[in-house]
Amino acid sequence: MTTEDDVRIYAATTDWADAHERVLAAFAKGWDTPEPHAWDSLMAENIILNQPLLLPGTTRMTWHDEAQRLVTLLPDIRGEVMSWAGHEDVMFIELLLTATLGGKPLDFRAVDKLWLTPTGTVLRRDSFFDSGPLIQAVLRRPSAWLPWWRSGLGPFLARRRFLDR
Protein backbone atom coordinates (compact mmCIF):
# COMPACT_ATOMS: atom_id res chain seq x y z
CA MET A 1 0.00 0.00 0.00
CA THR A 2 1.38 3.40 -1.00
CA THR A 3 1.06 6.27 1.41
CA GLU A 4 1.21 9.99 0.69
CA ASP A 5 4.68 10.04 2.26
CA ASP A 6 5.84 7.33 -0.18
CA VAL A 7 4.55 9.41 -3.10
CA ARG A 8 6.29 12.54 -1.81
CA ILE A 9 9.58 10.68 -1.33
CA TYR A 10 9.33 9.21 -4.85
CA ALA A 11 8.56 12.62 -6.35
CA ALA A 12 11.37 14.25 -4.37
CA THR A 13 13.91 11.68 -5.63
CA THR A 14 12.81 11.92 -9.27
CA ASP A 15 15.28 13.68 -11.52
CA TRP A 16 12.70 15.92 -13.18
CA ALA A 17 15.34 17.96 -15.01
CA ASP A 18 16.49 14.79 -16.76
CA ALA A 19 12.90 13.80 -17.57
CA HIS A 20 12.24 17.28 -18.98
CA GLU A 21 15.34 17.13 -21.19
CA ARG A 22 14.39 13.70 -22.56
CA VAL A 23 10.82 14.83 -23.30
CA LEU A 24 12.00 18.05 -24.92
CA ALA A 25 14.49 16.20 -27.16
CA ALA A 26 11.90 13.63 -28.29
CA PHE A 27 9.22 16.30 -28.75
CA ALA A 28 11.52 18.46 -30.90
CA LYS A 29 12.68 15.44 -32.93
CA GLY A 30 9.05 14.57 -33.66
CA TRP A 31 8.42 18.05 -35.02
CA ASP A 32 11.59 17.89 -37.18
CA THR A 33 9.98 15.11 -39.25
CA PRO A 34 6.34 14.91 -38.22
CA GLU A 35 4.33 11.81 -38.99
CA PRO A 36 1.65 10.07 -36.93
CA HIS A 37 4.06 7.80 -35.01
CA ALA A 38 6.81 10.39 -34.44
CA TRP A 39 5.86 10.84 -30.78
CA ASP A 40 5.01 7.24 -29.86
CA SER A 41 8.01 6.94 -27.55
CA LEU A 42 6.64 9.85 -25.50
CA MET A 43 2.97 9.01 -25.22
CA ALA A 44 1.20 6.75 -22.77
CA GLU A 45 -1.11 4.31 -24.53
CA ASN A 46 -4.11 5.95 -22.85
CA ILE A 47 -3.00 9.55 -23.23
CA ILE A 48 -5.54 12.36 -22.88
CA LEU A 49 -5.43 14.71 -25.89
CA ASN A 50 -6.98 18.14 -26.30
CA GLN A 51 -6.08 20.36 -29.23
CA PRO A 52 -7.80 22.99 -31.39
CA LEU A 53 -9.21 21.80 -34.74
CA LEU A 54 -8.44 18.16 -33.96
CA LEU A 55 -10.73 15.73 -32.19
CA PRO A 56 -9.98 15.23 -28.51
CA GLY A 57 -9.22 11.70 -27.45
CA THR A 58 -7.94 9.28 -24.88
CA THR A 59 -5.73 6.93 -26.88
CA ARG A 60 -2.55 7.04 -28.89
CA MET A 61 -4.62 5.81 -31.87
CA THR A 62 -6.64 9.05 -31.75
CA TRP A 63 -3.40 10.99 -32.09
CA HIS A 64 -2.28 8.80 -35.01
CA ASP A 65 -5.55 9.49 -36.85
CA GLU A 66 -5.55 13.23 -36.18
CA ALA A 67 -1.82 13.65 -36.91
CA GLN A 68 -2.34 11.88 -40.24
CA ARG A 69 -5.06 14.39 -41.11
CA LEU A 70 -2.76 17.26 -40.17
CA VAL A 71 0.18 16.04 -42.28
CA THR A 72 -2.19 15.24 -45.16
CA LEU A 73 -3.24 18.89 -45.25
CA LEU A 74 0.19 20.31 -44.40
CA PRO A 75 2.76 17.74 -45.61
CA ASP A 76 5.68 20.10 -45.03
CA ILE A 77 4.66 21.15 -41.51
CA ARG A 78 7.56 21.52 -39.10
CA GLY A 79 7.76 22.75 -35.55
CA GLU A 80 10.60 24.59 -33.86
CA VAL A 81 10.78 24.75 -30.08
CA MET A 82 10.97 28.42 -29.13
CA SER A 83 10.92 28.07 -25.35
CA TRP A 84 9.93 25.69 -22.61
CA ALA A 85 9.45 25.49 -18.87
CA GLY A 86 8.92 22.59 -16.55
CA HIS A 87 8.16 22.00 -12.92
CA GLU A 88 8.08 18.41 -11.75
CA ASP A 89 5.35 16.58 -13.66
CA VAL A 90 4.22 19.51 -15.85
CA MET A 91 5.97 21.00 -18.89
CA PHE A 92 5.04 23.84 -21.23
CA ILE A 93 6.59 23.88 -24.71
CA GLU A 94 6.15 26.82 -27.09
CA LEU A 95 6.38 25.94 -30.78
CA LEU A 96 6.61 27.91 -33.97
CA LEU A 97 4.86 25.82 -36.61
CA THR A 98 5.54 26.48 -40.29
CA ALA A 99 4.00 24.95 -43.40
CA THR A 100 2.70 25.71 -46.86
CA LEU A 101 -1.05 26.01 -47.39
CA GLY A 102 -2.53 26.70 -50.80
CA GLY A 103 0.93 27.45 -52.19
CA LYS A 104 1.65 30.17 -49.61
CA PRO A 105 3.63 30.10 -46.38
CA LEU A 106 1.77 29.65 -43.12
CA ASP A 107 3.10 29.98 -39.60
CA PHE A 108 1.56 30.04 -36.16
CA ARG A 109 2.59 29.55 -32.57
CA ALA A 110 1.28 26.94 -30.19
CA VAL A 111 1.90 26.07 -26.56
CA ASP A 112 1.61 22.49 -25.41
CA LYS A 113 1.06 21.67 -21.76
CA LEU A 114 2.26 18.16 -20.95
CA TRP A 115 1.67 16.08 -17.82
CA LEU A 116 4.49 13.58 -17.27
CA THR A 117 5.40 10.49 -15.34
CA PRO A 118 8.80 10.53 -13.59
CA THR A 119 10.19 8.50 -16.52
CA GLY A 120 9.09 11.12 -19.07
CA THR A 121 5.98 9.47 -20.47
CA VAL A 122 3.31 11.99 -21.44
CA LEU A 123 -0.02 11.21 -19.76
CA ARG A 124 -1.89 14.24 -21.08
CA ARG A 125 -1.34 16.88 -23.76
CA ASP A 126 -3.33 20.08 -24.03
CA SER A 127 -2.35 22.23 -27.00
CA PHE A 128 -3.26 25.90 -27.16
CA PHE A 129 -3.20 28.19 -30.18
CA ASP A 130 -5.41 30.77 -31.82
CA SER A 131 -7.11 28.79 -34.58
CA GLY A 132 -8.67 31.92 -36.12
CA PRO A 133 -5.71 32.86 -38.36
CA LEU A 134 -5.37 29.26 -39.56
CA ILE A 135 -9.07 29.07 -40.46
CA GLN A 136 -8.86 32.47 -42.17
CA ALA A 137 -5.87 31.25 -44.20
CA VAL A 138 -7.88 28.23 -45.37
CA LEU A 139 -10.86 30.43 -46.28
CA ARG A 140 -8.71 32.97 -48.16
CA ARG A 141 -6.88 30.35 -50.20
CA PRO A 142 -9.36 28.57 -52.51
CA SER A 143 -6.65 26.17 -53.67
CA ALA A 144 -6.55 24.85 -50.09
CA TRP A 145 -10.29 24.09 -49.84
CA LEU A 146 -10.31 20.65 -51.44
CA PRO A 147 -7.13 19.45 -49.67
CA TRP A 148 -8.58 20.76 -46.38
CA TRP A 149 -11.78 18.79 -46.92
CA ARG A 150 -9.98 15.64 -48.09
CA SER A 151 -7.62 15.72 -45.12
CA GLY A 152 -10.56 15.23 -42.78
CA LEU A 153 -9.85 18.52 -41.02
CA GLY A 154 -12.85 20.10 -42.75
CA PRO A 155 -15.90 21.12 -40.71
CA PHE A 156 -16.12 18.75 -37.73
CA LEU A 157 -19.83 18.01 -37.81
CA ALA A 158 -19.95 17.09 -41.48
CA ARG A 159 -16.50 15.72 -42.14
CA ARG A 160 -16.71 12.54 -40.07
CA ARG A 161 -20.15 11.58 -41.38
CA PHE A 162 -19.17 12.31 -44.96
CA LEU A 163 -15.80 10.58 -44.74
CA ASP A 164 -17.13 7.86 -42.42
CA ARG A 165 -14.30 8.47 -39.94
- Whole domain around residue 59: which residue ranges? 4-163
Q: Quick one: pLDDT at residue 140?
A: 94
Q: Quick one: pLDDT at residue 6?
A: 45
Residue 30 belongs to what H/E stretch?
A: helix 16-32
Which has the closest alpha carbon to 36: 9, 19, 57? 57
Query: Which whole-number Å values give the CA distances from 95 to 60, 110, 145, 165, in the listed order?
Result: 21, 5, 25, 29
Per-residue pLDDT of the chain (165 residues; tens, 9 = 90+): 444 554 455 555 689 999 999 999 999 999 999 999 999 999 999 999 998 888 888 999 999 999 999 999 999 999 999 999 999 999 999 999 999 999 999 999 999 999 999 999 999 999 999 888 888 999 999 999 988 888 888 765 455 555 555
Q: Quick one: pLDDT at residue 157?
A: 46
End-to-end distance of the chain based on CA atoms, in angstroms? 43
Query: Which whole-number Å values give the CA distances from 7 to 1, 27, 87, 115, in the listed order?
Result: 11, 27, 16, 16
Structural domain count of the chain: 1
Q: Quick one: pLDDT at residue 110?
A: 96
Query: Which whole-number Å values give the CA distances from 116 to 57, 72, 128, 150, 157, in the listed order?
Result: 17, 29, 18, 34, 32
* CATH code: domain of residue 71: 3.10.450.50
